[in-house]
């Protein structure tokens, strides 16, 4: 298996849940024998874990009120107009 | 929740502005966070996130209720952040190397953003480093990495939000992951 193209491509397909059974078997077999690809695969998975670990951020207080204050003036309700 | 939002949107479409308050309250953290991650700056994030909700309100009649509201809202917010990024540096590209600076690019010349108080102190340094690396990705990769891994959208949903083919989303997420892997592998 060509590491640079084929194996790395399969790793990404794996990460997107797009691998067929046959491709998965091929990738596993390759990873068992190729240390560089093992490392590459590990780094990719670790990268994703790290991205996901950056934590949640909350909006500033009064965010909703500030948005409401910026909205154009309310039109008369349809129900009153009828 | 999706049902509650649908009902609120119906009321907004009938002219009930107050109903929009619940919609904003429900999505404020998500949209603010998305803008912050795209822009890497709290002031711009607040500004653009507010603008996204105002645009959503003003254009509410163009929202098709058969589609997911969140997808539509994220599309508005994403487009606004990308516009803002484009307007920010009209004269040069951030990732262009500076002549004679020995491989330093414009990123290294910019001040890093101050860390957020909400972040925990223990891993603050690593988290802000990772965040910084994400914010250095070209916007087309950054958007997809953020939507996929920080906001948990599927690739199909991302293709809907950005209105680009699924194949393009896949190519970009591959490149984005590889770019980040290279930046983070030595940490």
Span B65-84, pLDDT tens digits: 888 999 999 999 999 999 99
pLDDT at A78: 52
Does the pLDDT at position B19 exceed 60? yes
Condensed to tens digits (0 to 9), the pLDDT of residues A29-75 reads 999 999 999 999 999 999 999 998 877 889 999 999 999 999 998 65
Q: What is the pLDDT, as a whole number, of residue B89?
A: 63
Cβ–Cβ below 8 Å for B120 and A55: yes
- Cβ atoms B49, A58 nearer than 8 A: no
Nearest CA in chain B to A12: B174
For residue B187, the model assigns a pLDDT of 79
Q: Which of B119, B161, B148 has the alpha carbon at shortest distance from A58?
A: B119
Contacts of A28 (CB under 8 A, 6+ apart): none
B69 near A CB under 8 A: no
Confidence of residue B129 (pLDDT cuts 50, 70, 90): confident
Beta carbons of B119 and A55 less than 8 Å apart? yes
More confident residue, B1 or B139: B139
Can you name the residues that pair with B105 across neighbouring β-strands?
A: B97
How many alpha carbons fall within 13 Å on the CB side of residue A3?
Answer: 11
**Which residue is it, tokens 């009209």?**
B90
Confidence of residue B171 (pLDDT cuts 50, 70, 90): very high
ipTM above threshold 0.90: no
In tens, the pLDDT along B38-65 reads: 998 899 999 999 999 999 999 999 999 8
Length of chain B: 187
Distance CA B93, CA B76 (A): 24
How much is the pLDDT for A5? 81
**What residues of chain A lie within 8 A of the CB of B37, using their CB?**
57
Give bridge partners of residue B97 from the DSSP assignment: B105
A8 interaction partners in chain B (CB closer than 8 Å):
178
Q: What is the pLDDT of residues B136-165, one digit of tens each?
A: 899 999 999 999 999 999 999 999 999 999
Tell me, what's the pLDDT at B3? Answer: 85
Residues forming a β-bridge with B119 = none
A77 and B46: CB-CB below 8 Å? no
Cβ proximity of B45 and B36 under 8 Å: yes
**Residue B21 burial (CB < 10 Å; 0-12/13-18/19+)?**
middle
Contact: A58, B118; criterion CB under 8 Å: yes
Q: Would an 8 Å CB–CB cutoff place B177 in contact with chain A?
A: yes
Instruction: Provide the pLDDT confidence category of residue B90 given band limits of 50, 70 and 90.
Output: low
Nearest CB among B118, B134, B185 relative to A51 is that of B134
Find the residue in B nearest to A67 (Cα).
Answer: B50
- A51 in Cβ contact with B131 (< 8 Å): no
Q: Token match 């309700």: residue?
A: A77
**Of A47, A48, A43, A41, nearest to A1 (Cα)?**
A41
Q: What is the pLDDT of residue A3?
A: 79
């Amino acid at each position: 298996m060509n590491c640079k193209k084929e194996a790395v491509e399969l790793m990404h397909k794996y990460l997107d849940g797009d691998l067929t059974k046959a491709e998965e078997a091929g990738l596993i077999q390759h990873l068992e024998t190729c240390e560089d690809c093992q490392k590459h695969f590990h780094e990719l998975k670790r990268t994703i874990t790290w991205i996901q670990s950056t934590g949640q951020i909350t909006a500033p207080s009064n965010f909703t009120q500030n948005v409401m204050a910026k909205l154009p003036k309310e039109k008369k309700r349809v129900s009153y107009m009828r | 929740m999706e049902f509650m939002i649908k009902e609120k949107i119906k009321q907004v479409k009938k002219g009930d502005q107050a109903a929009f308050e619940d919609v904003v309250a429900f999505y404020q953290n998500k949209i603010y966070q998305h803008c912050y991650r795209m822009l890497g700056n709290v002031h711009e994030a607040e500004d653009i996130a507010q603008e996204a909700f105002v645009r959503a309100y003003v254009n509410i009649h163009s929202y098709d209720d058969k589609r997911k509201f969140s997808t539509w809202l994220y599309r508005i917010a994403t487009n606004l952040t990308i516009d803002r990024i484009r307007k920010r540096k009209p004269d040069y590209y951030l990732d262009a190397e500076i002549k004679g600076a020995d491989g330093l690019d414009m990123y290294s010349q910019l001040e890093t953003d101050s860390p957020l108080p909400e972040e925990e102190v223990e891993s603050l340094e690593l988290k802000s480093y990772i965040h910084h690396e994400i914010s250095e990705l070209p916007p087309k990769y950054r958007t997809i990495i953020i939507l996929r891994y920080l906001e948990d959208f599927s690739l199909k949903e991302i293709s809907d939000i950005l209105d680009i083919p699924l194949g393009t989303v896949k190519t970009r997420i591959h490149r984005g992951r590889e770019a980040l892997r290279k930046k983070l592998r030595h940490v």
